[in-house]
Amino acid sequence: MKGLVLVLVLLPAVMTWASPVVPQASPDEVRDAMRAVPAARELKEAILPLLDVAMDAGRVTPGVAVLFLREMGRLGRSEAEAMLTLLLQGLRGQVPLNKWMNEGLKPWRMPRPPSWQDVLEQLELRMRLLLATRAALAGAGLQEAVRNDCAFGEVLAEVAWAVGDFLVSEGRDPADSGALEQFVRGRLLRLRGTLVAAALDPLLDALSPEMVAGIVAEAFAPQRR
């Protein structure tokens, strides 16, 4: 874990980037963009039905997916398949993917992009954190308490991103669960008014050093690597 975090700490200086304007897009355009990606047909066929489900559930916005997949279409086959394999993990794990896909767009919008390996490690970490955060929040009963999949997805993504920013942008010690919990709580409190209160308030009540420590441990568990 330490080695990966040390590599990722170097990325924030070169990965500062404004989110693009998201175009209007239809599910058919998303499917067409997916079919154009240079990757194994079996991989794309595994993704397409899950992508439809994710768009219907609000976990993926078609315009964001079209931008992401069109960029994937410019990659070499091995690179595109590495990205699509991560995407498939997220679709199977039923996590919100807009933030993750926007993260994947960053290198292609920079005058001096980081290395491909750095980009892949960044996206791997973000995906593992999304999956681990979903497990932690669902395990705490928050998904049932919220009863709104879109609102649950929003707070899930913000927690996962805050944990990742603590590790990557801040370069902080992942073992310092008290400081991590305060960092995540502060991020959520700053977003009060933009997140659905019915999802945010139960999360703030449940948030603890033990919860965020569990997210980090799960994200870096061997089976996630």
* Encoded tokens for 60: 């993926």
Domain shared by 94 and 175, yes or no? no
pTM of the model: 0.88
Which long-range contacts does 52-55 make (Cβ < 8 Å, 24+ apart)?
52/27, 53/91, 54/91, 54/94, 54/97, 55/27, 55/30
Per-residue confidence (pLDDT) for residue 4, from 0 to 100: 46
Domain shared by 30 and 83, yes or no? yes
Query: CA of 20: how far to CAs of 104, 106, 123, in Å?
Result: 12, 9, 18
* 72 found inside a domain: yes
Domain shared by 82 and 51, yes or no? yes
Per-residue confidence (pLDDT) for residue 34, from 0 to 100: 97
Domain shared by 34 and 4, yes or no? no
Query: CA of 200: how far to CAs of 69, 163, 171, 189, 192, in Å?
Result: 31, 16, 26, 9, 8
Domain shared by 180 and 140, yes or no? yes
Tell whether the model's pLDDT for residue 41 goes beyond 60.
yes
Of 94, 109, 124, the last residue of a domain is 109
Between 177 and 112, name the one with better pLDDT: 177
Mean pLDDT, the chain, whole residue set? 88
Poorest-pLDDT segment among 57-61, 143-147, 178-182: 143-147
How many domains are there within the chain? 2
Confidence of residue 109 (pLDDT cuts 50, 70, 90): confident
Per-residue confidence (pLDDT) for residue 13, from 0 to 100: 39
What residues form DSSP beta bridges with 192? 195
Identify the domain containing residue 95 by its residue range: 18-109
* 148 found inside a domain: yes
* Encoded tokens for 197: 């209160």
Domain shared by 1 and 28, yes or no? no
pLDDT digits (tens, 9 = 90+) for 76-91: 999 999 999 999 999 9
Tell whether the model's pLDDT for residue 131 goes beyond 60.
yes
Domain shared by 149 and 67, yes or no? no
Provide, rounded to the nearest whole percent, the portion of the chain with pLDDT above 90: 70
* 25 found inside a domain: yes
* 124 found inside a domain: no
The rounded distance, in Å, linking the Cα atoms of 143 and 116 is 35
Q: What is the 3-state secondary structure (H, E, C) of 24-90?
A: CCCHHHHHHHHHCCCCCHHHHHHHHHHHHHHHHHCCCCHHHHHHHHHHHCCCCHHHHHHHHHHHHHH
pLDDT digits (tens, 9 = 90+) for 162-219: 999 999 888 889 999 999 999 999 999 999 988 888 899 999 999 999 999 999 999 9
Per-residue confidence (pLDDT) for residue 7, from 0 to 100: 42
Domain shared by 75 and 138, yes or no? no
